[in-house]
Structure formats: C-alpha cells, structure tokens
Amino acid sequence: MPLRPAILCAHRDDALVSRLEKTLDEWSGEAFRFERFTSGRDLISRAREIRDADGDLAMVFCGLEIDDIDGAGTLLAIRSDPRLRGTRRLLLDVIEGNRRADDLLQHGALHARVDPDFDPRRLRDLLRTQLTDYVLHAAPHRIDDLHPLLDLQSMGSAFLSAKSNLERLSARLDEVQTSVIDGTTMTDNKVESSMIEEFDELLGHPERHTYEPGEILVQEGDEAGRIWVLIEGQVKLSRNLEGRDVTFHSETAGRIVGLMSLSLKNPVFFSCRAVTRTEALVLTREQVRDAVSRSPRLASCLITVILRSMARRNRRAAELLSDVHQLNTRLEKQRDDLESALADLKAAQDRLVESEKMATLGTLAAGMAHELNNPVAAMQNAARYLLEDVPALLGASRKLAPAGAALELARKAAPLSTRDERSLKRDLANSLDLDLPTDRLVAAGIRSVEDLQRFEKLDPGLKRDELLRQIEHGGQIGSALRNIENCSDRIAALVRSLKLYARADEDWTEDVDLNATLEDVLVILRGKLRDHEVVKHYADLPRIRCIPSQLQQIWTNLIQNAAQASEEDGRVTITTSRKGEQVRVEIEDNGRGIPAEAQPHIFSPRFTTRSGRVEFGLGLGLPISKSIVERHGGAISFSSEPGRTVFSVVLPTKPPQSEP
C-alpha cells in the first residue's frame, strides 16, 4: 500500500504548529503524514528524501523566521527543484504589508499565505483548494485516496481547461508550421541548436556521451527507454533483414534517434552506429516529458526537428521513386517483357510512400491518445467510485434518506427548457412558503408540491428546515456527480474522435434522449457560456438511435461557435422539434453573422473566419460535424445575416443500419 502524502512544516512557534497540525487532522483524518522542523535545510533535505523514494509531498508550510536559511530561501529552493515543483507552498506568517511574501508570490515560489491567527474554517477551505490543485497538476494518481477532500467544482473546471490547453498547442503548431515553410527565418542549424540549448538549460546540463567511429549507440531489438539527441558527428542506421545488415541512406538518420520506439514503447527498430566521432545527449522519457512540459519554445523546436526529419525522409522516398521510374524506363526499352513487373514495382513504391506518411501520423495520434488515456481513466474511475460510494454512504443512515433520494433524483432529472424552468420556479414559490431559493429545489429534481411531500414521508419526524437542507445538498451532490461523469466521458470521447475519419469504433445506442445530449454539453460548456444568455426551447422528442458522443461533439462545435460569434452578453438559443420521422436541432446566435463571401466555404476543412484568416490546426469543427451528421443519415445547413445565424441539424429517428 503506498505511503500517505506528506505535509512538512518549518516554524519556530510550537504552539502555532500544533494548532495547524490539529486543524489538518480534524479536516483530513489520517490522510496525511505531518512532520515539523525548525530548520529550512532539514525541511528541504526531508522533502528530497521523500521524492527520491517516489513518495508524494503535498504541501509545505514555512515561516519567514526559521533556523539557518530563512523561510523565503527555503521556499525558493523548493521552487527551483524540479522534483519538488508540484508541491503546494504556503507561507505561515503575517499577511498584510509583507514585502518578502509579495516577492515570493512574484517569483512563483508561493501559492498562498496563512495568517498565524487563522480561522480553522477558512483554513480548511484554503487547504481544499490547494490540495485540489496539487492532485490535478502533480498527483492525479491520488484522486481515489483524496477525493473526499477535493473541490469538485474545481475538478470540473480543470476538465474545461483541457480546451484551453489544446488551443495553446494549436498556437505552438502554428509557429512550427511557419518554421517549416519559411526556411529563411529558421534554419535547420538554428532549430537544432535551440533545441539542444533548451534541453541543456532545462535539465541542468546533463552529461554528454561520446562515441568513437564504429561504436554502437543503440542495437536493434533493445528495450526502448531513451532518445539520443545528436550534437555533432554522423551516424548510420541499419537493420538485419534475412541475416544481412542493411544500411539505410544517410538522410534517413535525423538529429533524434529512438523517438519512434520511445513513443510506441516498442523495441528499437534500427541499429545506430557512429560513422564519425559523435557527441550526443542521452535522455530518458521522463526527462523529455518534463522539459517539453516546461518550455513551449522547446516543444516547438522539437516538433520542427521531427517534421523536418520526416520531410527529408519523404524527399528521399520521392527520390527513390524517381530513380525506380528512370530504371523502369531504361529496362522497358531493353526488355519489353518486364513492363508489367516494372509497373507493379512503381505501384508498390507509391503505396510505400503513402504508408509511411500514414504511419507517421498514426504514431503522433497514438502518442497523444496514450498520454491522455491515463488521466482520463483516472477521472472516470473517480466518477464511478463517487457514483457508487456517495449513495451508499447516504443510504446507510435513515436520517439521511431524503438527501440520498434528492441525489438520485437530481442525477436523473430530465432537462427543462428555459420557459418551463422559469414557470416551475414561479409555481413552487407560490405554492410553498420557503426561505430556500426555489431554483435549488428545481435543480434537485423537485417538480411539484407532491414531490416535496414524498420526501417528507421518507422521515416524518424530520423538521422541514432540515428536510429542505438535505434536499438542497443532496441535489447539489447529484448534479455535481453527473457533471463529473459527463465531463470525464466527454474528454474520453474527444480522444476517441482522433480516429473519426479512419473508422468509428463506438457503439450505436438505442433510445437516446436528444434533449439530454444537448443538456450534457451545456453543462460542460457552462464556463464558456457564463456571460451569455442561453435560451432553450425543448420539444417532446422521440428517442433516437445514434452514437451519443458523436452527437455531443456536433453540439459542442455549434454551441461554441455561437458563443464566439455573439461575444459577451450575447444570446444563444437552442430549439428542438419533430417532423414526422425526423428530429431537428437549431442553434441560433445574435452575433455579427458570417460574411457572404465566406459562406460557400464554411464546411471546408481548415477554413475559419476567426481573426480573419486560416489558422493551422483550426477550422475542423464544422467539417467534422458535417461528416458525423451525414454518417447518421442526416443533413446540416445554416442561414446567416447580421444579428442572426442559425445552424440546423436534421436527423432520422432510425438511421441506416450500416454504422458510420
């Protein structure tokens, strides 16, 4: 069983440290190991010892006045150590007017400040926030252990931040595209030198390995675990084919050796041997991941080097194809009877070039999916545990039966249109004399006075104020659990959508509530729609046969586009209707509209009107949505004018039996 995460504290005031430890114990039980120090060096030494043993260090509390190095120096030392960077750092000292604390915040060495006369309740709120940040950024494997102490709302917000991360990645790729196309501004030597400088700086100037001519850097079939970044010298790649070592062309070997095997976790494919005296950085997977995550510049340089290496290989493949074609021409003149065989060879070479391109793209997609799968699986597991454990916990006590029932009701409550929701709140307010806002009762699934009376029957002896509090809190927990489940499933669906154009391996689902799929997306996009008015007109629709995650991808694209087009304080209107054996979803915004000259291209790949230009990695939302709709046997259309743009999706209730 893994050791509990540690919390370290360095301070001279024993009474203050004891009060802090007591507050931590009352809040977390036995979730942490608390250790106290009066010396900053002792605290730093213990922190590194914990990390060297693969332990988890959640938080460090430190006063400004401690033995040997002061608290500011201690926190800066922890901030500068890559192994300790994920630890939450809190200053236990007077908050107001403290310039040294402000300097620590400015240098990123401090996450929060705690007044020595802290209020335990406020401290617990601060600890919950800091622990949630620690788990999200440094210890996702601790979600199962620590989930009772985490801030569920922040966890949901973290899922939405994945979109922001993807946008930043697109910006980096845009920079890479510029460097690849405009060779005059970023030469190969410049890119490679920048990459090596970044690795050197970020990894503390790791040792450089030297190989003499003829010495093997890596052998075919070895276990993948490192890459070789060539600083100087030449190498050659070879592979044993039918008992013979086949040496590949010099352009096949780029400046990075072993990257494909490392990303796929397969045995090394090529043997690499030094041709001249060669110097290289030998980096582990962890070193590469750490360096890339800390430096957008390194990420851009690394991707540029990889893409240019791919370009050289493709150019070499094209040259080989040209050579084969010339050879075929000469042989055709001499031996007419080989014409058919030569044509077959050319076709094989064509397939080889295309196969290499697709394999490379597949490798990149597989690497991205692999990196996302583990944290997504952790989120989904945490959601499943919560969905099992929280109802079971509430069900264990009869006095908590109303809270448990409210939780289940909120999880299963059908979405309401804006008009129905307002009407229901008004009716409940007129029918009940309550201090509790009716919007919370509606959110908990209460639809009538009779619903409330059924809750009262669960525990007739319970006072009404306590009953209402249980309904409110149970409903909030149910809504939160549903949000966590929907968000984690949505991220997993985004990973699966990487394979959308190649094949769709998701299952068809019968009896899907189309209104519910829209409501789930609105939950996920709640942060983006915070400054918008969202108006919902839901009709009573028949349940349809579809792939729900793919439909959610359509709604996500269309609703996000509508929000961006209408900007802040805009209005997004969602309307569902039925006509015969078809259902229709309309998403309308009151934004500036789509320019007339852009409308014919709106469903073209990589076309976007954002910022008035086409951007690398953007503009795929509508083409993907159109593809999904058509594979479901439906159609998508739009109309646009200044002040009103409407996208309409029509789907059959029973699509063709052939899966998309």
pLDDT at residue 153 greater than cutoff 60: yes
- Out of 47-51, 332-336, 599-603, the most confident range is 47-51
Task: List 92's β-bridge partners, or say none.
Answer: 114
Higher pLDDT, 114 or 182: 114
Of 358, 353, 359, the closest CA to residue 318 belongs to 353
Between β-strands 256-257 and 226-232, what pairing exists: parallel, antiparallel or unpaired?
A: antiparallel
Q: Which residues of 224-238 are buried (b: 16+ CB within 10 A; e: fewer)?
A: bebbbbbbebebbbb
The predicted pLDDT at position 501 comes to 35
Is the pLDDT at 66 greater than 50? The verdict is yes
151 vs 471, higher pLDDT: 151
- pLDDT of residue 19 exceeding 70: yes
Q: Are strands 571-579 and 582-589 parallel, antiparallel or unpaired?
A: antiparallel
Grouping H, G, I as helix, E, B as strand and the rest as coil, residue 30 is coil
Numbered ranges of CATH 3.40.50.2300 in the chain: 6-149
Instruction: Specify the 3-state DSSP secondary structure of 452.
Output: helix
393 pLDDT exceeds 50?
A: yes
pLDDT score at 437: 66
Amino acid code (one letter) for 644: R
372-376, 394-398, 566-570 — which is least confidently predicted? 394-398
Q: At what angle do helices 14-28 and 120-137 cross, to 10 degrees?
A: 70
User: Is the four-CA dihedral 498, 136, 56, 41 of positive or negative sign?
Assistant: positive
- Indicate whether 236 pLDDT > 70: yes
Q: Which amino acid is at 311?
A: A
List the single range of 176-190, 234-248, 455-469 with lowest mean pLDDT: 176-190
497: pLDDT strictly greater than 60 = no
Q: What is the DSSP string of 608-621?
A: --GGGS--TT-S-H
Indicate the range of 12-16, 192-196, 241-245, 397-401 predicted with least confidence.
Answer: 397-401
Residues sharing a CB contact under 8 Å with residue 464, sequence separation 6 or more, in sequence order: 456
- pLDDT confidence band for 168 (50 / 70 / 90): low
Rounded Cα distance between 552 and 524, Å, is 10
Q: Is residue 70 over pLDDT 90?
A: no
Average pLDDT for 41-61: 92
Q: Is the pLDDT of residue 491 over 70?
A: yes
CATH of 6-149, one of 3.40.50.2300, 3.30.200.20, 3.90.400.10, 3.10.100.10: 3.40.50.2300
- Per the DSSP assignment, residues forming a β-bridge with 533 are 571
Section 569-588 average pLDDT: 93
What is the topology classification, in CATH, of domain 171-310?
Answer: Jelly Rolls (2.60.120)
Residue 82 has pLDDT above 90, yes or no: no
369-402: burial string, b at 16+ Cβ within 10 Å, e else: eeebeebbebbbebbeebbeebbeebeeeeebbb
Q: End-to-end CA distance of the chain: give it in Å, rounded.
A: 45
Round to whole Å and give the CA distance between 305 and 259.
Answer: 12
Residue 24 has pLDDT above 60, yes or no: yes
Q: Specify the residue for token string 């796929």.
A: 264
pLDDT of residue 161: 66
pLDDT at site 364? 59
Contact between residue 253 and residue 228 where contact means Cβ atoms under 8 Å apart: no
CA-CA-CA-CA dihedral for 274, 280, 282, 287, to nearest 10: -150
Token output for 372: 């996302």
Give Cβ neighbours of residue 268 (< 8 Å, ≥ 6 apart): 218, 219, 220, 221, 222, 223, 224, 258, 261
CA neighbor of 90 nearest in space, from 35, 41, 127 = 127
Q: Supply the pLDDT for residue 571.
A: 92
54: left (phi over 0), alpha (psi -120 to 50) or beta: left
pLDDT-derived band at 72 (thresholds 50, 70, 90) equals confident
E strand map for 16-128: 33-37, 57-62, 88-92, 112-114
Which two tokens mark 281? 């950085």
Q: DSSP class of residue 655?
A: -
Please, are residues 205 and 285 in contact by the beta-carbon 8 Å criterion? no
From 20-29, 239-248, 361-370, the region with the lowest mean pLDDT: 361-370
**Position 16 pLDDT exceeds 70:** yes
User: Residues of CATH 2.60.120.10 domain(s) within the chain?
Assistant: 171-310
Over residues 564-577, mean pLDDT: 88
Q: Which helix (H) or strand (E) holds 589?
A: strand 582-589
Among 100-104, 132-136, 611-615, the range with the most confident prediction by mean pLDDT is 132-136
CATH code for residues 500-652: 3.30.565.10
- What pTM value is reported for the model? 0.32
Average pLDDT of span 472-479: 76
Asked if residue 274 has pLDDT above 70, the reply is yes
Q: Which tops the pLDDT comparison, 311 or 169? A: 311
pLDDT of 324 over the 90 cut: no
pLDDT of residue 634: 93
Banded pLDDT at 335 (limits 50, 70, 90): confident
Nearest alpha carbon to residue 109 among 66, 69, 77, 70:
77
From 233, 168, 161, select the one nearest 527 (Cα to Cα): 161
Give the model's confidence band at 183: pLDDT under 50 very low, under 70 low, under 90 confident, else very high. very low
Confidence band, pLDDT 50/70/90 cuts, at residue 305: confident
Asked whether residue 361 carries a pLDDT value surpassing 50, the answer given is no
3-state secondary structure of 342: helix
Rounded CA separation 300/515 (Å): 42
Rounded to an integer, the average pLDDT of 103-126 is 87
253 compared with 629, residue with greater pLDDT: 629
Residue 515 confidence (pLDDT) above 80: yes
Give me 432's structure tokens: 């009940």
pLDDT at 615 over 50: no
- Mean pLDDT is highest, among 86-100, 217-231, 598-612, for 217-231
What's the pLDDT at 637? 94
- For the ranges 7-11, 501-505, 589-593, the lowest mean pLDDT is seen at 501-505
The whole-chain average pLDDT of the chain stands at 78
Across-strand partners of 348?
Answer: none
Provide the pLDDT confidence category of residue 513 given band limits of 50, 70 and 90. very high
CA dihedral 414, 383, 168, 191 (to 10 degrees): -150
Q: CATH 3.30.565.10 region(s) of the chain?
A: 500-652
Question: What pLDDT, on a 0 to 100 scale, did the predictor assign at position 496?
Answer: 56
Residue of higher predicted confidence among 49 and 288 = 49
Between these two residues, 347 and 550, which has the higher pLDDT value?
550
Strand partners, 283: 227
Quote the percentage of the chain above a pLDDT of 70.
Answer: 77
State the pLDDT confidence band at 660, using cuts at 50, 70 and 90. very low
Q: Tell me what the mean pLDDT of segment 22-37 comes to.
A: 92
Q: 415: pLDDT confidence band, cut at 50, 70 and 90? A: low
Non-local CB neighbours of 635 within 8 Å, separated by 6+ positions: 629, 649, 650
Q: How far apart are CA 9 and CA 209, in angstroms?
A: 41
How buried is residue 58: exposed, middle or buried, by Cβ count under 10 Å (0-12/13-18/19+)?
buried
Which of 100-109, 345-354, 394-403, 456-465 is most confident?
100-109
